[in-house]
Amino acid sequence: MTQTAQTPLVVSNLTKRFGNITAVESLSFEVAPNRVTGFLGPNGAGKTTTLRCILGLVNPSAGDARIDGKSYSELPNPTAVVGAALEATGFHPGRNARDTLRIRSTVLYGSRDDKRITELLNYVGLGDAITRKVGGYSLGMRQRLNLAMALIGEPRMLILDEPGNGLDPAGIAWLRSFMRGFATDGRSVLVSSHLLSEVKQSVDDVVILDRGRLVAADSLAALLDHSGGGTVSVLGPELDRLQVVIAEQHPAATCQVEANTPSTQGGASANARLVVTGLSAADVGHLAYTNNVELHGLTAQDPAEDLERLFLRLTGNGSAQEDSQ
């Protein structure tokens, strides 16, 4: 690890147009060593196009992407530096997994290195299917083979495009801990997903893309802070008064009354809840106590739920996007 200090990937002003359609526009971001960077955005945001530009498969209309200061095609043995598992990568259906890996291991190591291939296929969970033709593989098995192809060169950076597609829950859990474990010793992971929930437990940094433009690039923690430091849900008979108190003492916080359950007994206020953004549960509890406001319930919402809201807000198409998934 001689280059641990270097930023492994720098994308600068990357733009890609397909005819009149701008798929990616002036996109800049970096991937830091020892970090898992989530590359997020709804379907069609330009994630795959960006990844393919980074890997020299799509020619940028402007800007560039540098890996250790070089473009992908300038790297002497690129798959030993960057391992990529892209969506829509094909395998020859009549070729088995071992031969598929031999094609790359030969270029990397000058020999087939069957021992390494067997170990790797065992590691990704394809130990029973080493000599089976890939045509008979399930989608999940193809994802695993794709990952093995990315790993065969023992790269320092991984670029994974929607790696969870087709994996069962156990496979997704395995993938999460794998990515966490990989991003150490100066190595890094850039993983794309259209589902924040899929990667939120495993990413350190997030780069959020919407319609080809960058909408956020920050650490996950900073993004959560930025989103207002959490959301608190409050139940009680005096929500109106609490709302006034909060507005007086914490003008930055926002309050929203939401119908908690369909009102069957008339009294709307009894079934409503107050959602306070920008304050902790302790802050709200303290305010209620010092102002003699009666409370029946005080719950801090799951931070992940906040993040999901933030993601949908940033990418600007909340409900429509949820419906499509």
Q: Taking the CB of residue 208, how many other CB atoms lie within 10 A of it?
A: 23
Can you name the residues that pair with 234 across neighbouring β-strands?
274, 298
**Contact call for residue 55 and another protein (CB under 8 A):** yes
**Contact call for residue 57 and another protein (CB under 8 A):** yes
**Contact call for residue 156 and another protein (CB under 8 A):** no
Among 71-79, 118-126, 136-144, 209-217, the segment contacting another protein (CB under 8 A): 71-79
Nearer to another protein, 18 or 289 (CB): 18
**Contact call for residue 149 and another protein (CB under 8 A):** yes
User: Which one of 36, 42, 45, 52 is in contact with another protein (CB under 8 A)?
Assistant: 52
Among 4-12, 74-82, 116-124, 228-236, the segment contacting another protein (CB under 8 A): 74-82
CB of 136 to another protein, least distance (A): 14
Q: Are 73 and 58 in contact (CB under 8 A)?
A: no
| R_g of the chain, CA atoms, integer Å | 24
**Rounded distance between C-alpha atoms, residue 262 and residue 172, angstroms:** 36
Q: Are 21 and 302 in contact (CB under 8 A)?
A: no
Nearer to another protein, 58 or 312 (CB): 58
Q: Taking the CB of residue 1, how many other CB atoms lie within 10 A of it?
A: 9
Nearer to another protein, 75 or 195 (CB): 75
**Rounded distance between C-alpha atoms, residue 164 and residue 65, angstroms:** 25
**Contact call for residue 112 and another protein (CB under 8 A):** yes
Would residue 44 be called left, alpha or beta, if left means φ above 0 and alpha means ψ between -120 and 50 degrees?
left
Q: Is 160 helix (H, G, I), strand (E, B) or coil?
A: strand
User: Which one of 37, 49, 50, 277 is in contact with another protein (CB under 8 A)?
Assistant: 49
CB of 59 to another protein, least distance (A): 6
**Contact call for residue 2 and another protein (CB under 8 A):** no
CA 5 → CA 32, 61, 218, 275, distances in Å? 9, 30, 19, 44
**Contact call for residue 38 and another protein (CB under 8 A):** no
Q: Is 26 helix (H, G, I), strand (E, B) or coil?
A: strand
Q: Is 123 helix (H, G, I), strand (E, B) or coil?
A: helix
**Rounded distance between C-alpha atoms, residue 278 and residue 226, angstroms:** 9
**Contact call for residue 110 and another protein (CB under 8 A):** yes
Within 79-108, the residues that bind another protein by CB under 8 A are 79, 84, 86, 88-96, 99-100, 102-104, 106-107
Interacting residues with another protein (CB under 8 A):
18, 48-49, 52, 55-59, 72-73, 75, 78-79, 84, 86, 88-96, 99-100, 102-104, 106-107, 110, 112, 149
